[in-house]
Chains A and B, each alone.
Chain A
Amino acid sequence: MKKDSKAPVVRFENVGLRYGLGPEVLQDVSFSLTPGSFHFLVGPSGAGKSSLLKLMYLAHKPSRGLINLFDRDIATTPRRDLPALRRQVGVVFQEFRLLKHLSAFDNVALPLRVAGARRDEIDKHVVELLSWVGLKDHLHARPPTLSGGQQQRVAIARAVIAQPKLLLADEPTGNVDDRMAMRLVHLFEELNRLGTTVVIATHNEALVSRLGHPCLQLDQGRLLIRESVAATGPARQLKNALDAAAKGGGKQPAGPTA
């Protein structure tokens, strides 16, 4: 469901990034993401995947080059307008970065509160979403009391609660088994079907080859674009088998009706 007619959600042109006076961790990175696209971001450790995501969720400014987010040049956007852009970007951080002192409910409610949503709306949507990811019984649990997989689902719920146009996930399948990984990726695909542009950083090559989405491949700070690794033949069958396995798992949340 690509809408090529629309302006790209993200556009990088000759972007370079260095920390302090160190070497460039990203060099001459150029790419653009069309609305509704789904990309994996792959590459060995230290290739700059997290740095590239940080540029996309506006945690850093590039040392050089041009970044457009939602058709706005970040360099010329005044600081006071950046929060509004960030609210359209959902991020699943590498270590989740849940707020330990807040309940699962409050963590997920945060993006809505920050945006000044009404209280009854917040209550309704957060409970709905947490139920959907199978955490209905853990609304008031604090993250440290939840398992790794449960924390991950809270983090994902927080990333998607405000219906972002762009969803970024940094190694979301890092600490979970294959079955859980597939379930999470399905969740992202579900959101993608609803129109969200998705970028998932991972070094799980097996996952990437199974699903057949195009890849942004980083190697020593340089970017290659690997268009559509076709998921055909055995890979497709494997994917289907894994899908079935995932659906069999008792806590698989029912997808939202489109």
Chain B
Amino acid sequence: MIVRRTDLPLNRDALGRFLPWLIAFMVYLAVMALAGMLLLNQLAGRWDQGIGSTVTVQIPAAADKQQDARHMQAALKVLKDIPQVLFAEAIPESQIATLLEPWLGAIGGSGDLPLPQLIDIELKEGATLDEEAVHRKLSSIVPGVTVDSHGLWLERMVRLIRTVEILSIAVLALIALATVGTVIFTTRTGLAIHQDVIEVLHLIGARDSYVARQFATRALFLGLRGGLIGLFLALPTLWGIGFLVQSLDSSLLPDVSLQPMQWLMLAVVPAAAALIAMLTARITVVRSLAGMI
């Protein structure tokens, strides 16, 4: 790293110890927020593809088996006439029993317990189904029928994720703002501490940009140092979380992990923080020097 000679004793004030740690915390938070955002984005992208392709119709158990069969026939006939439907088929009772097994135990498809009947519908590619209309049409034939689109559920889930993503972006923006505020404050303090030296430079004929460059260069290096500290604190945290998620070995949590490109984006955060610090310092100095004659 190039150590620049500066005319201002910038390396001797307390700000040099103070600023990197503040930026380290900011970068830590930013990396966590960004990692969360990238993971959610990946998740949402995966679920997005599943949206709207399958629908399940549920027919409540009727008084007797004959009625059940009639309901099923009627419902299937209606569904197969809908142009968007690729196929519609009844799910066998044994399979329904298997689905319910975790809650009801092995009931083996015996007739003792009235089970609802299910129809699995696969839509044609790109097609959408007007659930309300289908439900109305079926209700007139089969009372108590429900039309359950996984698409709708997934859509809500994806919408939730998108909301959280927007929140993450807002959090990132707030962190950036806080960084800007911190740098403005420390730069102003630095200007006040070194006012005498700055005045001498000014009277010797230094342009504002000459003084600003010294503050900006220091802010860049302090920002970079702080940013790297923040990144190196954030990476073990992310690995730790990843390890915990894996050890849960649960099918409830979808298997997502950061791709190399996304790790690279996290690595860019300290550089971005340093750049923000540099620009902020420069603008702050130029603005406050503009008050001198």
Please name all residues of chain B whose beta carbon is closer than 8 Å to the beta carbon of A97 when the two chains form the complex.
196, 200
Please name all residues of chain A whose beta carbon is closer than 8 Å to the beta carbon of B203 when the two chains form the complex.
57-59, 86, 91
Q: Are B207 and A83 in contact (CB under 8 A)?
A: yes
Q: Interface range on chain B: under 10, 10 to 19, 20 to 34, or 35 or more? A: 10 to 19
Q: How far is the CB of B14 from chain A (nearest CB, A)?
A: 15
Please name all residues of chain A whose beta carbon is closer than 8 Å to the beta carbon of B202 when the two chains form the complex.
86
Q: How far is the CB of A94 from chain B (nearest CB, A)?
A: 12
Write the chain B residue with the least CB distance to A158.
B204
CB contact list, B232-248 vs A, under 8 A: none
Instruction: Report the Cα distance A158→B7, complex, angstroms.
Output: 14
Knowing A101-B9, A101-B12 are in contact, say whether A114-B293 is a contact too (CB < 8 A).
no
Q: Are A60 and B205 in contact (CB under 8 A)?
A: no
CB contact list, A215-238 vs B, under 8 A: none
Instruction: Report the Cα distance A11→B92, complex, angstroms.
Output: 106
Write the chain A residue with the least CB distance to B9.
A101
Instruction: Report the Cα distance A131→B203, complex, angstroms.
Output: 25
Please name all residues of chain B whose beta carbon is closer than 8 Å to the beta carbon of A58 when the two chains form the complex.
203, 293
A110 in the interface, Cβ–Cβ < 8 Å? yes
Q: Digit string of B196-240 for contact with A (CB within 8 Å is 1, else 0)?
A: 110111111111001000000000000000000000000000000
Q: How far is the CB of B240 from chain A (nearest CB, A)?
A: 44
Q: Taking each of B199, B201, B207, B210, which has the highest tally of chain A beta carbons within 10 Å of its own beta carbon?
A: B207
Q: Are A110 and B293 in contact (CB under 8 A)?
A: no
Q: Are A114 and B210 in contact (CB under 8 A)?
A: yes
Q: Are A114 and B200 in contact (CB under 8 A)?
A: no
CB contact list, A77-135 vs B, under 8 A: 79-80, 82-87, 91, 93, 97, 99-102, 106, 110-111, 113-115
Instruction: Report the Cα distance A60→B199, complex, angstroms.
Output: 12
A61 in the interface, Cβ–Cβ < 8 Å? yes
Knowing A83-B207, A97-B196 are in contact, say whether A110-B9 is a contact too (CB < 8 A).
no
Q: Are A61 and B293 in contact (CB under 8 A)?
A: yes
Select which of A61, A83, A99, A100 is within 8 A of B205 by beta carbon: A83
Please name all residues of chain A whose beta carbon is closer than 8 Å to the beta carbon of B12 when the two chains form the complex.
101
Instruction: Report the Cα distance A99→B7, complex, angstroms.
Output: 8
Please name all residues of chain B whose beta carbon is closer than 8 Å to the beta carbon of A79 when the two chains form the complex.
290, 293
Write the chain A residue with the least CB distance to B210.
A114
Instruction: Report the Cα distance A79→B7, complex, angstroms.
Output: 22
Knowing A79-B293, A101-B12 are in contact, say whether A84-B205 is a contact too (CB < 8 A).
yes
Write the chain B residue with the least CB distance to A86.
B205
Instruction: Report the Cα distance A99→B203, complex, angstroms.
Output: 13
Write the chain B residue with the least CB distance to A115.
B205
Write the chain A residue with the least CB distance to B11.
A101
Select which of B7, B197, B199 is within 8 A of A113 by beta carbon: B7
A-B contact pairs, 17 of them (CB 8 A): A60-B293, A80-B207, A83-B205, A83-B206, A85-B205, A86-B204, A87-B204, A87-B205, A91-B204, A97-B196, A97-B200, A99-B7, A102-B7, A106-B7, A110-B204, A114-B205, A158-B204
- 4 interchain residue pairs of minimum CB distance: A87-B205, A86-B205, A101-B9, A114-B206
Interface contacts beyond A60-B293, A86-B202, A115-B205: sample of 12 additional A-B pairs, CB < 8 Å, sorted by A: A59-B203, A79-B293, A83-B206, A84-B205, A87-B205, A91-B203, A91-B204, A97-B196, A101-B9, A101-B12, A106-B7, A114-B210
